[in-house]
Amino acid sequence: HDTENPNHGLWKLLKLLLEEDGIAVFSHVKTDPIKEPSDGSFRLIRVVSGDVFGMKTRSNDISDFEVSLFQRYHQPFSILKSNNIHENNEL
């Protein structure tokens, strides 16, 4: 996965589907985790081992799965980042 890339299809889709502060839940293997996008648009808020849910492999071995919860995050508006207002308050 290249989920650190904020242009990854996963994040693009979730931006369309989730409202502000919406939460997405993923089940995946520990060896291939989903990583937060580098732009901070989603934050990893919790990771839970599949063992907590009694997940097992087909051969009844301990599972390599985990569940990750990501929350959509909107960065607060900063007046200094606006193109119309400069740091020295000139218009």
The span from the CA of 67 to the CA of 34, in Å, is: 10
For residue 53, give every residue at least 6 positions away whose Cβ sits within 8 Å of its Cβ, in sequence order, or none: 67
- Report CA torsion sign: 36, 42, 48, 53: negative
Q: What is the pLDDT of residue 76?
A: 59
Does residue 83 have a pLDDT over 60?
no
pTM recorded for the entire structure: 0.73
Q: What is the pLDDT of residue 85?
A: 46
Identify the band that residue 6 occupies on the pLDDT scale cut at 50, 70 and 90. Answer: very high
Does residue 12 have a pLDDT over 80?
yes
Does residue 34 have a pLDDT over 80?
yes
Mean pLDDT of the chain: 83
- Altogether, the residues listed in the chain come to a count of 91
Identify the band that residue 62 occupies on the pLDDT scale cut at 50, 70 and 90. Answer: confident
